[in-house]
Amino acid sequence: MNKQDCLTRRHFIKGLGATGVALATPGMASAMTTDAIHWDEQVEIAIIGSGFAGLAAGIEATKLGCNAVTIYEKMAVYGGNSAINGGLFAAPNSPLQQQQGVQDSADTMVADQLKSGRGVADEALLKHIATYAKDALQMTLDAGAEYYPYLQQLGGHSVPRTYQTKVSCGAGITQPLLHECRKRGVALQNRSKFEGFVLDKQGAVAGIRIRYPFYEEDAQSGKVINIRASKGVLMATGGFAQNVNLRMAQDPTLNAEVGCTNAKGATGEGMLEMFRLGAVPVHLAYIQSGPWASPDEGGFGYVSNYSIFNFPHSIAVNCLTGKRFMNEIADRKTRADAELACRDNDGKPLPPIMITSYAHAKEHPTCEKVLKYDVGWKFDSLQAIAKRFNIPLQPLEQQVAEYNAYVKAGDDKQFGKSMAKAKGMYLQAPFTVVRLWPKVHYCQGGVQVNVKAEVLDSNSGKAIKGLYAAGEVCGGIHGVSRLGSCAIPECMVMGMTAAHSIMGA
């Protein structure tokens, strides 16, 4: 890297302040050059992060002949944010779709995502991911992941294409992939905090700096070691939803009072280090909130998957009016915005409720836990619901009657919800009810990558040699709003893609 390039990049990093990107240290301070550096360890591929993307990359790399790949995880446990996500996997042309006669294609899935992305999603990347989603799904099946024998149609999807793990969370995928990594000889090291890159004289990424063993209570714990990665470095570090200062720099309303579904390690340091190298920041202000979350429990909780399953045959009701206020299976942003607009007469938040027939709700495995842990409730009548949540009874009764008529006719005249998954599923007592309120869930923004999972340089527009990224740390793929169940295929396909690019396969 010549002096002019360094100056140009420093000016670029300085300019990031105007975009709201919070940088902890001066530009380039965390990158070192290989001049006279002592390498403490050497691998062929270094993977930072042990979620869906990192694990899939590790497995694929060994299939392609890599003999020395190591996955480094900052936290004490493996899996990161992936382990606690909803375990929902969207794939077109999947075995279940073929068994059930569902007509779907990569193009159809992409069209759904482009609509949700409000015109600024990356069509090429979405097409690449949708095309190979079936292969990623097969990797999970080969590793031993187990799914329910049905498909769900999540908000914004035009057809049912979503698998659900039997444990109703992402651990149903990360644990089998972790086992497969170990089986294939992938080395794994936890308590390993990424500190920065090591560059060669031409500016290519030659290795990484890792603080080990790292304990989150002490930022200076452990020792910083230099690790050479002879073939490449894959950044699979996830999003920054737990970094309150950084997310507030993009959206001041996302302060510490707003809940979050992410693991504690989702703080974005890896992304910031790539910005310091000159990576292009894309769509950082597009931060998605989950409209299926509950204000009555922390994190992702039990209500989230319960709501996702039940939305197609349930109604969401504004407690102030007793009426529906949204299409319950619209895309996430549409629903989250509609929920946030539910306020009392003083303008204070008034979480809406979702009403489901218990006969249908109990079909989902989390229903029992929702009721057991008092984050959802069972009622014998609409009168009891109205009394509990101070809802005007007559409008509520009228709304339920109207909705049942829509079920019978197969046509939602209020909000145009697809009634395919509600056929014959009338709202009848006894009922179950949960409260809804969005939580920060996913960062659409991050570094720009191409369909080879190469990180692009803001100065040249070309790939930064030796550097690859996959998963939520990447930006621009989904646009304004990501459709539910599309994160896992994205992470895994791009992780697998990175392995192919690094290995030259």
Say whether 332 is catalytic. Answer: yes
Is the fold of 3-287+441-503 the same as that of 292-437?
no
Residue 258 pLDDT grade (very low, low, confident, very high; cuts 50, 70, 90): confident
Residue 14 pLDDT grade (very low, low, confident, very high; cuts 50, 70, 90): very low
Residue 253 pLDDT grade (very low, low, confident, very high; cuts 50, 70, 90): confident
Is the entire prediction scored with pTM above 0.85?
yes
Q: How far is 333 from 337, CA to CA, in rounded Å?
A: 6
pLDDT confidence of residue 32: 80
Q: What is the pLDDT of residues 365-382, one digit of tens each?
A: 899 999 999 999 999 999
pLDDT confidence of residue 257: 78
Residue 30 pLDDT grade (very low, low, confident, very high; cuts 50, 70, 90): low
Instruction: List beta partners, residue 215.
Output: 218
Residue type, 113: Q
pLDDT confidence of residue 159: 96
- 225-245: average pLDDT: 97
Of 209, 332, 435, 482, the active-site residue reads 332
pLDDT at residue 17 is higher than 80? no
pLDDT confidence of residue 33: 79
- 36-65: average pLDDT: 96
Report domain 292-437's class.
alpha beta
Q: Looking at beta carbons, which pairs linking 32-35 to residues 24 or more positions away fall under 8 Å?
A: 32/196, 32/197, 32/198, 32/199, 32/209, 32/226, 33/198, 33/199, 33/200, 33/201, 34/198, 34/199, 34/200, 34/201, 34/206, 34/207, 35/201
Q: How far is 105 from 356, CA to CA, in rounded Å?
A: 31
Residue 291 pLDDT grade (very low, low, confident, very high; cuts 50, 70, 90): very high
pLDDT at residue 13 is higher than 60? no
- 135 token code pair: 């292969």
- 269-294: average pLDDT: 97
Q: What is the pLDDT of residues 92-129, one digit of tens each?
A: 999 999 999 999 999 999 999 999 999 999 999 999 99
- 59-69: average pLDDT: 98
Q: Contact 354/315 with Cβ under 8 angstroms?
A: yes
pLDDT confidence of residue 505: 83
- 449-477: average pLDDT: 97
Q: What is the pLDDT of residues 166-217, one digit of tens each?
A: 999 999 999 999 999 999 999 999 999 999 999 999 999 999 999 999 999 9
Three-class SS string for 63-126? HCCCCCEEEECCCCCCCHHHHHCCCEEECCCCHHHHHHCCCCCHHHHHHHHHHHCCCCCCHHHH
Task: Please state, rounded to an integer, the average pLDDT across all residues of the chain.
Answer: 93
- Choice between 35 and 468, residue whose per-residue pLDDT is larger: 468
Q: How far is 151 from 161, CA to CA, in rounded Å?
A: 6
Per-domain residue ranges for the chain?
Answer: 3-287+441-503, 292-437
Q: What is the pLDDT of residues 388-409, one digit of tens each?
A: 999 999 999 999 999 999 999 9
pLDDT confidence of residue 310: 97
Q: Contact 478/113 with Cβ under 8 angstroms?
A: yes
Q: Identify the CATH assignment for 3-287+441-503 out of 3.50.50.60, 3.10.270.10, 2.70.210.12, 2.60.260.20.
A: 3.50.50.60
Q: How far is 147 from 167, CA to CA, in rounded Å?
A: 8
Residue 31 pLDDT grade (very low, low, confident, very high; cuts 50, 70, 90): confident
pLDDT at residue 455 is higher than 80? yes
Q: Which of 371, 350, 359 is nearest to 429 (CA)?
A: 359
Q: Which segment of 20-24, 198-202, 320-324, 364-368 scores lowest on mean pLDDT?
A: 20-24
Quote the DSSP letter at residue 482. Answer: P
pLDDT at residue 248 is higher than 70? yes
Share of the chain above pLDDT 70, in %: 94
